[in-house]
């Protein structure tokens, strides 16, 4: 069936303002009222992400190793492996069970390569031999793993805020500690990044980066404990806005700061500048729990929609609901409606995204 769609507006685009009124922290009823009172013409300010084509993505991968000790629970350490010498590829973690010892530890991820099991080198053994080593462990096993950190060379050249989109499974931790903002109005900083955690693997979060917002909620008038609660309520998709440390005019001294991890975290220092109202100039997006991240360039544009007999041809979601705020985004664009037919020559086309690595499954055996 032929679809009338110009692609000028797309679902997921964020609505920054309606007829000059900012949508930040508005109730859903207030958003509806703005559109109802707009008459036949509405002016929208849109934010969207222009992703580079895969061949233009300058991200690289840094390989690091880490040791971790897991405890056996219900006769399992909570992960499966695949690969081995017979398949001519490394022993690789293929699955980590949610809620298991391995999951709660917060380090082991699908795609990690296992180098040692209880001190024994497994880089040249079969899968069966590796499974035997794990099953013969006592109540604990110590692993040496190799994992990937995405390297974004372009970040060193970036100026202004940075948007980081992460995937955080329910109950998991990002692996950051925060310090600063013991009192309202003070900025917050990342004071520690956990080895092999979600934050370190993304390659965009570093010690002394200033945290500006979480899922669209600005931290100007929040304490560290407020930030921790926002992170704790964030399952699966987490969007952070930061000012990288190299863009701060005064580098905070966190040596004396009290800090909380993002499972329960804290931050403080009044020196670094906050850049209010600026759209993040660069973003880093995670394509999945495997750890691949790509650079995206947030762009903004202003459009004018003229209604037909039915309306503007789009539906929005988000806004303040109870104590929760979600950015206003386009949820539905009706085929053949004004929003679908809108032509905006200035919109930058978005490149395709591809999954970077495969996760191999072993079957039902949980180690």
Reported as a single tens digit per residue, the pLDDT across 165-218 is 888 877 788 899 888 866 777 889 999 999 999 999 988 899 999 999 999 899
Positive or negative, the CA dihedral 199, 200, 202, 206 is positive
Q: Strand, helix or coil at 105?
A: helix
**Contact, 63 vs 147, CB < 8 A?**
yes
Positive or negative, the CA dihedral 336, 338, 343, 346 is negative
Residue 273 is predicted with a pLDDT of 36
Whole-angstrom distance, CA of residue 282 vs CA of residue 163: 6
State the DSSP H helix or E strand holding residue 24, giving kind and residue range, or none if neither.
Answer: none
Average pLDDT, the chain: 76
Per-residue pLDDT tens for 155-173?
777 777 888 888 887 778 8
Task: Read off φ and ψ for residue 198, nearest 5 degrees.
Answer: -60, -45
Whole-angstrom distance, CA of residue 220 vs CA of residue 217: 9
- On the CB side of 325, CA atoms within 13 Å amount to 16
Per-residue pLDDT tens for 228-259?
888 888 877 888 999 998 888 876 767 644 55
Q: What percent of the chain has pLDDT over 90?
A: 25
In this prediction, residues 260-267 reach a mean pLDDT of 46
Prediction pTM value: 0.60
If one counts every other C-beta atom within 10 angstroms of the C-beta of residue 231, the result is 23
**Contact, 339 vs 313, CB < 8 A?**
yes
Q: Is the pLDDT of residue 352 over 60?
A: no
In this prediction, residues 257-272 reach a mean pLDDT of 43
Burial of residue 365, with CB atoms counted within 10 A of its CB: 0-12 exposed, 13-18 middle, 19 or more buried:
exposed
Residue 363 is predicted with a pLDDT of 34
* DSSP letter assigned to residue 183: S
Confidence of residue 60 (pLDDT cuts 50, 70, 90): confident
Residue 237 is predicted with a pLDDT of 82
| CA separation, residue 358 to residues 111, 292, 354 (Å) | 8, 11, 11
For 44, the token pair is: 């929208």
Confidence of residue 262 (pLDDT cuts 50, 70, 90): low
More confident residue, 116 or 248: 116
143-147, 207-211, 309-313: least confidently modelled range: 309-313
Name which of 363, 288, 344, 334 is nearest 128 in CA terms.
363
């Amino acid at each position: 069936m032929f679809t009338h769609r110009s692609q000028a507006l797309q679902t997921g685009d964020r609505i920054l303002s309606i007829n000059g009124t900012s949508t930040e922290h508005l109730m859903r009823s207030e958003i509806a009222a703005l559109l109802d009172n707009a008459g036949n013409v509405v002016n929208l300010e849109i934010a969207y992400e222009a992703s580079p084509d895969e061949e233009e993505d300058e991200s690289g991968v840094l390989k690091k190793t880490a040791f971790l000790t897991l405890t056996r629970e219900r006769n399992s350490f909570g992960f499966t492996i695949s690969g081995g010498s017979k398949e001519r590829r490394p022993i690789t973690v293929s699955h980590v069970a949610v809620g298991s010892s391995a999951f709660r530890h917060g380090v082991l991820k699908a795609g990690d390569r296992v180098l040692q099991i209880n001190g024994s080198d497994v880089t040249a053994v079969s899968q069966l031999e590796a499974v035997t080593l794990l099953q013969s462990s006592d109540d604990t096993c110590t692993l040496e793993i190799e994992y990937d950190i995405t390297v974004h060379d372009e970040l060193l050249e970036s100026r202004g805020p940075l948007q980081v989109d992460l995937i955080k499974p329910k109950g998991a931790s990002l692996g950051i500690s925060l310090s600063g903002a013991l009192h309202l109005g003070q900025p917050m900083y990342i004071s520690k990044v956990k080895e092999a955690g979600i934050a370190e693997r993304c390659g965009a979060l570093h010690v002394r980066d200033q945290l500006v917002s979480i899922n669209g909620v600005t931290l100007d008038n929040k304490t560290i404990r407020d930030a921790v609660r926002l992170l704790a309520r964030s399952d699966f998709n987490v969007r952070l806005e930061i000012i990288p440390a190299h863009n701060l005019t005064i580098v905070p001294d966190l040596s004396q700061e009290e800090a909380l991890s993002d499972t329960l975290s804290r931050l403080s220092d009044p020196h670094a500048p906050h850049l209010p109202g600026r759209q993040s100039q660069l973003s880093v997006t995670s394509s999945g729990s495997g750890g691949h991240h790509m650079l995206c360039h947030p762009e903004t544009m202003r459009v004018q929609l003229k209604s037909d007999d039915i309306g503007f041809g789009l539906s929005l979601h988000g806004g303040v609901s109870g104590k929760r705020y979600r950015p206003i985004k386009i949820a539905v664009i009706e085929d053949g409606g004004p929003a679908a037919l809108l032509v905006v020559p200035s919109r930058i086309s978005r490149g395709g995204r591809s999954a970077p690595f495969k996760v191999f499954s072993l079957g039902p055996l949980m180690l």
